Amino acid sequence: DGGITQSPKYLFRKEGQNVTLSCEQNLNHDAMYWYRQDPGQGLRLIYYSQIVNDFQKGDIAEGYSVSREKKESFPLTVTSAQKNPTAFYLCASSMLGLAGGPGGELFFGEGSRLTVL
Amino acid sequence: GDSVTQMEGPVTLSEEAFLTINCTYTATGYPSLFWYVQYPGEGLQLLLKATKADDKGSNKGFEATYRKETTSFHLEKGSVQVSDSAVYFCALRTGAQKLVFGQGTRLTINP
């Protein structure tokens, strides 16, 4: 079945450690996104990528890094510079296109919950 | 910048009650509007969408109409079920390749 796979589902990190969250899609989508979800704050965009080897910062990119070496993969690294990394992280993908066309909808993975000990 | 404001939760209803979750937006240009649903411990699923003014999106008994004059996209359902308990997110998307979300509304349906 086509979809987006995030791993791990749960991750614990000690302060000062970097961690990498995996996101893989087999939907043949060009665009991929990382969102952070905190209670009562909705979802905030961290990074997004519209094409391989290119990505843009979202609204809260500080303390995070990404790469897009393959169309199917968009891993997110939470670095030690991220001051409050405990959160639920969601990866998404979409076709490219103008809003309102086939590219309008985002498809989401099931999320990764990161807890800093 | 673009933004979405949702009715604050949590919302608690009895089974078979009528549901409305309000959503208003601010955007430059002509956004597409979406409702996503998140069940406990899961990612988001698209519930419905509308891409131009006066369009009505519908799915699983839920409906929302794109009202340009009031910049609103309120979610409604005539008779809710326990299985509808979840968090609901209103979102918009303009020419930029990203979705802007509201803060989410937690809905609990009691039997």
Q: Do B97 and A96 touch (CB under 8 A)?
A: yes
Q: Does B31 touch chain A (CB under 8 A)?
A: yes
Cβ–Cβ below 8 Å for B43 and A43: no
Which residues in chain A are contacts of B34 at CB distance < 8 A? 104-105
B96 — pLDDT class (breaks 50, 70, 90): low
**A95: CB partners within 8 A, 6+ apart:** A29, A30, A31, A102, A103
Shortest Cα distance, chain B CAs vs residue A83, angstroms: 22
Cα distance from A99 to chain B (closest Cα, Å)?
5
pLDDT at A43 over 50: yes
| CB contact at 8 A, B80 and B19 | yes
* Residues ≥6 apart with Cβ < 8 Å to A6: A21, A22, A23, A89, A90, A91, A109, A110, A111, A112, B43
Tell me the C-alpha distance between A10 and A86, whole Å: 11
pLDDT tens digits, residue range B2-55?
A: 899 998 889 999 999 999 999 999 998 788 899 999 998 888 999 999 988 999
Residue A1: predicted pLDDT: 65
